Amino acid sequence: MIVLFDTNVILDVLLNRAPHAQTAAELMALVERKRLSGILGATTITTIHYLAQKSVGSKAAARHIRKLLSIFEVAPVTWETLSDALSLNFPEFEDAVLHEAARQSGAGGVVTRDPKGFSKATLRVYSPSELLKIFEKQEIPGEASR
């Protein structure tokens, strides 16, 4: 199963935002162990670098990005992605772009703490705790497929 991680889930881990960091970290660990295929939108990478650079400096920001790139695949954001996102009429364009990047990359779902932002999604939308519970119940095959 391929799941796109919304920017807020990654930031929960990187910024250690309680009470969300633990669940998000457990999901990232599943991706790192290749039990779940995780992807990030290209815009997530740039957003995280921008925020990390402001708070921890350029070198540490680059380390964070290298770590994410070693764990996750990246869903490109193309002209088609942006054009298709415009037609979705999501509450937030950023969420529409992530949805379309996920869909065009073959993801089956999105994990986010902002389900309202994905209310018009055609992909399955999971909360971090919901996805972790499903995975713990072994309803998702144990090995990720790409």
What's residue 142's pLDDT?
44
Structural domains of the chain ordered from first start? 2-136 (3.40.50.1010)
What's residue 146's pLDDT?
42
Q: Which residues of the chain have pLDDT under 70?
A: 138-146
What's residue 70's pLDDT?
97
The structure tokens listed for 14 are: 């990187």
**Phi/psi at 16 (5° precision):** 50, 50
The angle, 0 to 180 degrees and rounded to 10, between the axes of the packed helices 58-71 and 21-32 is 60
What's residue 145's pLDDT?
43
What SS3 state is found at 38? Answer: strand
Of residues 127, 102, 124, 134, the one with CA closest to residue 113 = 127
* pTM tops 0.75: yes
Q: How far apart are CA 132 and CA 86, in angstroms?
A: 31
What's residue 11's pLDDT?
93
What's residue 137's pLDDT?
79
What's residue 138's pLDDT?
62
